[in-house]
Amino acid sequence: MSGAAGPGGPALEAVDVTRSYVLEGVTVEALRGVTLAVEQGDYAAVVGPSGSGKSTLMHLLGGLDRPTTGTLRVGGRDVSAMTEDELAALRNRTIGFVFQSFQLLARTSAVDNVGMPLVYRGAGRAERRRRAQAALERVGMGHRLDHRPNELSGGEQQRVAIARALVGEPQVLLADEPTGNLDTRNGADVMALLEELNAEQGVAVVLVTHDLEIAGRARRQVRVRDGLLEDAPPRNQQHQGAVDFDGGSVR
């Protein structure tokens, strides 16, 4: 893996992270002080009712968003000190996203969908195809390389999406309700695939779900309610010293 984390350090680390939005003049606190570490090779499920802040947490962990306060380290690097471009590179190399609605590009073949993240590393067409093909074979879709999303079943589409998340060899797969749009059998297949990747390739898997049965399969559960982790104390005002603004020098 090409991540910047030191050996043994957590892949993702949130320290007292808050995230608030201003919606029509009203400040909404989606996260109110979350401290969480995702170790390398971890398999965690984030559970909680809708509106609890679990999606916001997911976006933060994936480098799609930045915390309002607190420290967030992805691959050992402090996100708040990074430029937009560095954040994009981080998403490209360290994180793999799997979405509930697959988010495949229509009119684009499976192999091109999977190879798409490599475009932003400057990989050539041949290399993209080779690596995309390998990723598709890894998820059992090697026979569907040139099919378009509308020619694939939901389960197959999610497998292609997982291959896309995998193609960049990330440290962490972030899966947001990956089985939410699938029937039970396809959902079980997708879960089995994610677990296999976690066990065999050591890629950390963090999945957001409200399905407790699925959450129960993970090694551990992180429960979010009202912007806080359950079993964790609310944000401590004395805790500000832990916030690090000087470029991620804390190791």
Give me the least distance between CB of 69 and other proteins, in Å please. 18
Binding part of the chain for other proteins, among 84-92, 130-138, 204-212, 223-231 by CB under 8 A, reads 84-92
Number of residues that bind other proteins (CB under 8 A): 25
152: left (phi over 0), alpha (psi -120 to 50) or beta: beta
| Interface with other proteins (CB under 8 A), residue from 24, 85, 146, 246 | 85
Q: Which helix (H) or strand (E) holds 184?
A: helix 184-201
* Residue 53: closest CA among 88, 98, 17, 82: 17
Q: State the Cα angle at 242 between 240 and 246, rounded to 5°.
A: 105
Residue 92 touching other proteins (CB under 8 A): yes
Residue 1 touching other proteins (CB under 8 A): no
* Residue 209: closest CA among 200, 218, 201, 199: 218
Q: How far apart are CA 243 and CA 176, in angstroms?
A: 27
| Interface with other proteins (CB under 8 A), residue from 7, 26, 27, 84 | 84
Give me the least distance between CB of 162 and other proteins, in Å please. 13
Residue whose CB is less far from other proteins, 92 or 221: 92
Q: Determine how many CB atoms are found less than 10 A away from the CB of residue 68.
A: 16
Max Cα–Cα distance, the chain, nearest Å: 57
Binding letters toward other proteins, positions 113-152, x by CB under 8 A: ---xx-xxxx------------------------------
Residue 53 touching other proteins (CB under 8 A): no
Give me the least distance between CB of 38 and other proteins, in Å please. 18
> What DSSP state is assigned to residue 20?
E
Residue whose CB is less far from other proteins, 39 or 65: 65
Give me the least distance between CB of 147 and other proteins, in Å please. 17
Residue 29 sits at φ, ψ, to 5 deg, of: -95, 100
Q: Strands 77-78, 95-98: parallel, antiparallel or unpaired by DSSP?
A: unpaired
Binding part of the chain for other proteins, among 33-41, 56-64, 208-216, 239-247 by CB under 8 A, reads 56-64
DSSP string, 80-127: GGS-HHHHHHHHHHTEEEE-TT--PPTTS-HHHHHHHHHHTTT--HHH
Give me the least distance between CB of 117 and other proteins, in Å please. 4
Residue 32 touching other proteins (CB under 8 A): no
Give the end-to-end CA distance of the chain in Å, rounded to a whole number.
Answer: 19
Task: Report residue 178 CA to chain centroid gap.
Answer: 11
| Interface with other proteins (CB under 8 A), residue from 3, 10, 48, 62 | 62
> Residue numbers of the site for other proteins (CB under 8 A)?
59, 62, 64-65, 84-85, 88-89, 91-93, 97, 99, 103, 105, 107-108, 116-117, 119-122, 164, 168
